[in-house]
Chains A and B, each alone.
Chain A
Amino acid sequence: MKKVIWLVGLLFIYVSSSFAQVESTSAPLVELPVGKDKLIFSDYRGKVILLDFWASWCGPCRQSFPWMNDVQARYADQGLVVIAVNLDQDKQGADEFLRDIPATFKIVYDPEGTSAEQMDVMGMPMSYLIDRDGILRHRLIGFNSRKKIQHEDHIRALLDETVRK
């Protein structure tokens, strides 16, 4: 009987931990080192940023790029800025990917992955939604047709908010 309880308990821990959600932090983001440059979030105050981390070897990125092109186009005038950070260790991979799937949004390169480390990227691809006040509001891991809809709902919600300060 004791073993059954242990077993059930352990299984529960596993199952429940897989559904854990992590949401917003309260302080505005300041800056993010990306390769040799820096991304200064205050430059984008008043805009909603979709910060996406991708790589050429990541299969679902082939689906997320056309969608990001689409949302960038549709919501640009409402203040959406898409910034995609490439994490390929070899830029050639990224160039080949962009030849196949061109991007209309801003691409920055971070082959060392320091920005991913700082943002605590947990899977590939991963996007972060930062509101008009520079606060990180959503972490979105992975990409598929279901997540696409959720991501877009979050974007619209953030675009609807007005700047607080």
Chain B
Amino acid sequence: MRFLRLAFVIVLGSIVLSACSELGVKPWERDVLARPEMQLIHDPVEAGLDDHIYFSKEASSGGRGFGGGGCGCN
């Protein structure tokens, strides 16, 4: 039951988000976002090494995750 409520909230949240279609750019205006240095995790190897250090020396870990952004092609 709790999972269902959570799933409902997420889907509802998605609809709210899609209502925010004010935000964003046209598909042909993604030149800057397509640049490698504008990716959310630009260097995954470095991100992994850093995660390892901080995971070993602190009590928190993770939080980051997926990409998105980029050129939005295809």
A binds B: yes
Binding site for B on A (CB under 8 A): 3-4, 6-7, 10-11, 14, 53, 55, 57-61, 87-90, 93, 113, 116-117, 121-126, 141-144
Asked if A7 and B7 sit within 8 Å, CB to CB, the answer is yes
The residue on B at minimum CB distance from A126 is: B27
Other than A6-B8, A10-B14, A142-B73, give 6 A-B pairs with Cβ distance below 8 A: A6-B11, A61-B73, A113-B29, A116-B26, A117-B26, A121-B28
Pick the contact of B74 from A11, A60, A88, A113 — CB < 8 Å? Answer: A60
Asked if B31 and A55 sit within 8 Å, CB to CB, the answer is yes
- Give Cα distance in the complex from A121 to B71, angstroms: 14
Count, chain B residues at interface, CB 8 A? 20
Confirm or deny: B35 has a beta carbon within 8 angstroms of a beta carbon on chain A.
yes
- Give Cα distance in the complex from A39 to B12, angstroms: 44
| Residues of B contacting A: mostly | helix
Confirm or deny: B15 has a beta carbon within 8 angstroms of a beta carbon on chain A.
yes
List of A residues within 8 angstroms of B8 by Cβ: 3, 6-7
- Give Cα distance in the complex from A3 to B27, angstroms: 35
Pick the contact of B71 from A57, A90, A113 — CB < 8 Å? Answer: A57
Pick the contact of B72 from A3, A6, A14, A123 — CB < 8 Å? Answer: A123
Asked if A88 and B31 sit within 8 Å, CB to CB, the answer is yes
- Give Cα distance in the complex from A3 to B74, angstroms: 34
List of B residues within 8 angstroms of A55 by Cβ: 28, 31
